[in-house]
Structure 1
Amino acid sequence: MHFYKKLISLFLLCATLSVGFFGAALGQTNREQLEKDKKANQDKIKQIQSVLKKTSSQKNVNMKQLQVINSQITAQQKQIGLLNDDLKLLDNELHTLGIERRKLDQDLEKLKKEYAKMIYEASKRMNTLNNLIFLFSANTFNQFVLRYKYLKQYTDARQNQASQMEALKVQIAAQQSRITSKKDQQKVILSDRMSEAQKLTVMQTQKNTVVTELSKQEKELRVELAKSRQQAAMLEKNLKEIIERERRERLAREKAAREKAERERAEREARGEAPKPETEAEKLDLSGMTDEEVKLASSFTASKARLPWPVRGFVTDHFGRQAHPVLKGIIVDNLGVDIQTNAGEPVRAVYDGLVLDVNSMPGYGYVVAIQHGDYMTVYAKLRSASVRPGQRVKARDNIGVVATDGEGTSELQFQVWRNTTKLNPESWLIRR
């Protein structure tokens, strides 16, 4: 019975340690993802700093410079948040390690007490001579063998107890080393967080300075805003005309295909022929899309949050209605997102599709519209376009080069439409 109790105790100890190791492995997985996020965000900060350095070299402050600073502040705040997450994860890891360490200490203390008791009992009852007397005082050979086995089991039990204690001491030392390492890591993270917080303070000061300077240019900003609104309205009108033109063409194709199919069916019936299966031209849904276009739209929908970015860079102006960063009480509306990048960066299609339109518009340079079934992606502010209407493109194909304005800003305007509904492009692009 005592043997089985020891076996069960050993099993429970192993199970406890296994849970601890599983928890450590889970913590490691979380840490790997956290480290990836920290590195990706740090790379983004470096990219923003590179762009900001170029825009800051301009004599006068401008709205684009303020947008870059805002993006930098957002990224910096995210970095501090990631460091806070790191500290919380370390606290949890240290808590788990502490519990495991205390459990190991308790197990070792228990083994020590049992071992001490065993040694004490042995010293009271027998020495080497007593062992021999105990053996040779047996009345029969079988009794001699049984006594020999008893002494051997007793010796083996002591050795096993000593081995368990040594193994626990090794585990405790390793656990203590892990705890020390985590605490050292915690100190480094705390120092990094303090450093990043100081950088954020500098950025906030820089932003306040730029906002103050821009506030002095209110009249110019209002003129600039009115001009950009007019240009955006022209772009939106042009895109809606493209969508309407495509809709009319689809309906015309659908009507012609249906009429042709009806004529052919009537002719077959007049000749007494059996009906034929539908042709590709007849396979049109109510919106006039072919099977191929329907499949493309469906696969585009399934790619939400997984589309590649059209250009290397970072978002400086988000989708939809938002407060003007300088002019109080003024709301601005963005048809898509503005992605700042480096001069001369290639612009790529985010998905397979058909080029619907390539045009040049005031304030937007070259504008490329690509159809993906009943979806459309728009790439504006290009210096040049390398595709033509009617051309089929694949995801990540180069379609042009981003333009750089007179203030040194290289920026792409990216939009996503479904029929006549504007969608938030950031919810379609892969997270960075």
Structure 2
Amino acid sequence: MMIKLMLALIVGVGISSSTSVWSQKKSAQTTKTKTSSKTSKSINSLKNEQEKVQKNLKRAQDSLKNTQLSTKKAMREVSRLDQGIEERSRLIQNKNVEIQTLQENISSLEKDILRLELEYASNKEKYVDLIYHAYVKNSSYSKLMFVLSAESFSQAYRRFRYIQDFASMRKSRADEIGKNRDDLVAKRSQLTEQKAQSTLLVQEREAENQKLIEEKDEQNRLLVSLKNKEKEFAAELAKQQAAAEKLDQKIKELIEKEAEEAAKRMAKKNDEKAKNQVKTENKAFEGSKGTLPSPLPGSHITGRFGIQFHPVLRHVKTNNKGVYCTSEAGAVAKAVYEGEVTQLFSVPGSNTAVIVRHGNYLSVYSNLTKIFVRKGQKVMAGDRIGSVYEDENDDNKTTLFFQIWKEKELQNPEEWIKGWKRKQ
């Protein structure tokens, strides 16, 4: 009996011990599971946070890119509107001249019609008198009796001539009346036509005036909206000016070098024929002033030559040493006149530039990427010089910087290229 009790006690203690160990293991596993779960949650939270940060960074980068893009677009839009306003103002001015000319023509026609009406009335009255006179004469005696009743042969002849002259005068008066009538009809027709034309021109002018007002309003709204981005414009302008100054300095150095080399070549030749050839080239180039083709066909001016006010930062002036003309993606710069390629060079921020010599004159094409010419190559007007850089931050728009020099003396390209000169 005692043995059974001891065995039962031992078994009980064993079971209790096993249960305790199992409970401890289970507790440890539970604790481990909880810790693992917390760690997993922490990692997921960090990953989510990281993704959120990356999204925010991307959004910020996109926003910056869009801001830069919208800034450039806005600048381009301001320039486009500025040019549109200028062209529309010129169109309205031309229509005003046309209207004035037509009004003068109408006034002249009205005077002609009045004169013709008076002549017509006068000739009709005179013709009536002639007819009445002829009727009276014919009713008194016949033309034959009028001649035969003469007292002498000379009197008879004079009477005969009188009858002939009278008939001729009557016919002349009738013809004159007919001509007066035809002239009146023609003049009245011209008057009606020119009045209709004048009315149409006035309507067109009013429509253009309305468009001009709308364009000016749009430009003003755009300028007001851009006022908040003055810092961005100032930063962009500073960047552009720095690049422009580098380019100007490089071009100036090369132009001076080019002039010295040309002088040395001429001195070596010391040939009247060579000198005369340069004179001929100069004369031909100068004779083309105002008629040269655009170096970037289909483009429009986005930066004029000389001192210009910034379209947004009105208190800021820029001094452009050439003309900026802008076109669509894929645009190619072309030679404005026949000549020889003398320089190809690169400037950081302005890509590649090409200089073409035309006698003592030089044309400069800057902001090129792919070049289609080589140094020493002869080119003709319209030959491809190079592809213009496409700005991915500005819808791949292309902007060429173009200059004309007479040796070391900078020229205004607007006076040389057809359609570029501002009309007063």
Quickly name the TM-score band, shorter chain normalised. 0.7 to 0.9
**3-state DSSP class of the match of 2:391?**
coil
- Equivalent in 351, 368, 372 of residue 382 of structure 1: 368
Deviation at 1:290, TM superposition (A): 4.8
Matched, 1:306 2:291: yes
Q: Counterpart in 1 of 2:11? A: none
Partner of 2:400: 412
Pairwise CA distance, 1:431: 3.6
Give, in angstroms, the shift of residue 251 of structure 1. Answer: 4.9
- Identify the match of residue 342 of structure 1 among 328, 331, 343: 328
Which letter maps to 2:301? V
How far apart, CA to CA, are the structure 2 residues paired with 1:382 and 1:334? 18
The aligned runs of 1:6-405 (5 Å cut-off) are: 61-127=73-139, 129-138=141-150, 146-253=158-265, 257=268, 281-283=269-271, 290-312=275-297, 313-405=299-391
The residue that corresponds to 2:414 in the other structure is: 426
Residues 10-45 of structure 1 deviation map (CA, whole Å, 9 limit, x = unaligned): xxxxxxxxxxxxxxxxxxxxxxxxxxxxxxxxxxxx
Q: C-alpha distance in 2, partners of 1:68/1:362?
A: 27
Supply the distance in 1 between the matched residues of 2:124 and 2:307 (Cα, whole angstroms). Answer: 71
C-alpha distance in 2 between matches for 1:117 and 1:59: 86
TM-score, reference length from structure 1: 0.74
Deviation at 1:73, TM superposition (A): 0.8
Shift of 1:216: 1.2
Q: Distance in 2 between matches of 1:232 and 1:175?
A: 62
What is the CA–CA distance in structure 2 between the aligned matches of 1:94 and 1:383, rounded to whole Å? 58
**Aligned equivalents of 2:121, 2:315: Cα separation in 1:** 71
Q: Secondary structure at the match of 2:382?
A: coil
Compared with structure 1, are the counterparts of its residues 250 and 133 closer, same or farther at alpha carbon in structure 2 (3 Å cutoff)?
A: closer
Q: How far 1:283 moved relative to its partner? A: 2.0
Distance 1:125 1:354, change over 3 A: same
1:145 Cα deviation (Å)? 5.4
Is the CA contact 2:92–2:208 (under 8 Å) kept in the aligned structure 1? yes
C-alpha displacement of 1:223:
0.7
Q: Distance in 2 between matches of 1:427 and 1:353?
A: 19
What's the offset of the Cα at 1:129?
Answer: 4.7
SS at structure 2 position matched to 1:103: helix
Instruction: Give the deviation of 1:136 after TM superposition.
Output: 4.3
Stretch moving more, 89-98 or 359-368: 359-368
* In 1: Cα distance, 2:122 partner to 2:369 partner: 77
Instruction: Report if the CA contact (8 A) 2:341-2:354 is conserved.
Output: yes
Q: Mean alpha-carbon deviation: is it higher for 390-399 or for 138-147?
A: 138-147
Percent identity between the two aligned chains: 30
Q: Which has the larger radius of gyration?
A: 2
Is the contact made by 1:70 and 1:316 (CA closer than 8 Å) also made in structure 2? no
Give the 3 Å change call, closer, same or farther, for CA 130–212 of structure 1 in structure 2. Answer: same
- Give 1:176 deviation, angstroms: 0.5
Give the letter for the 1:184 counterpart: A
Name the amino acid aligned to 1:388: R
> How many Å apart are 1:141 and its aligned residue?
6.8
Per-residue CA deviations over 1:141-191 (Å, capped at 9, x if unaligned) read 776555344323222221221111011100111000000100000110011
Structure 2 CA distance for aligned equivalents of residues 99 and 117 of structure 1: 27
Cα distance change of structure 1 residues 119 and 215 upon mapping to structure 2, 3 Å threshold: same
How far the C-alpha of 1:252 sits from its partner, in A, is 4.5
Moved more, 350-359 or 232-241: 350-359
Cα deviation, residue 344, structure 1: 2.1
- Once the two structures are TM-superposed, the CA of residue 430 in structure 1 deviates from its matched residue by 2.4
1:306/1:428 contact within 8 Å kept:
yes
- The change in CA–CA distance for 1:147 and 1:59 in structure 2 (over 3 A counts) is same
Deviation at 1:246, TM superposition (A): 2.1
Which residue is equivalent to 1:4?
none
Name the SS for the 1:126 alignment partner. Answer: helix
Which has the larger displacement, 333-342 or 131-140? Answer: 131-140
> Residue 126 and residue 318 in structure 1: after superposition, are their counterparts in 2 closer, same or farther (change >3 A)?
same
Q: Deviations over 1:404-428 (max 9, x none)?
A: 3121222221111122222110111
Superposition CA RMSD, Å: 2.4
Indicate conservation of the 8 Å contact 1:351/1:395, yes or no.
yes
For structure 2, the 5+ residue unaligned runs are 1-68
Alignment check: 8 A CA contact 2:250 2:347 kept:
no
Aligned residue for 1:325, secondary structure, equals coil
Contact 1:254 1:284 in 2 (8 A): no
Q: CA offset at residue 90 of structure 1?
A: 0.4
The answer on whether the counterparts of 1:376 and 1:419 sit within 8 Å (CA) in structure 2 is yes
Unaligned stretches of 5+ in structure 1?
1-57, 258-280
What TM-score does the superposition give when structure 2 sets the normalisation length?
0.75
Change (3 A) 1:365 1:148: same
Per-residue displacement from partner, 1:334-368 (whole Å, max 9, x unpaired)?
11112222332332111122212223334433311
- Whole-Å separation in 1 of the counterparts to 2:259 and 2:90: 43
Partner amino acid, structure 2, of 1:378: V
Over 3 Å counting, the alpha-carbon distance change for 1:284 and 1:247 in structure 2 is: farther
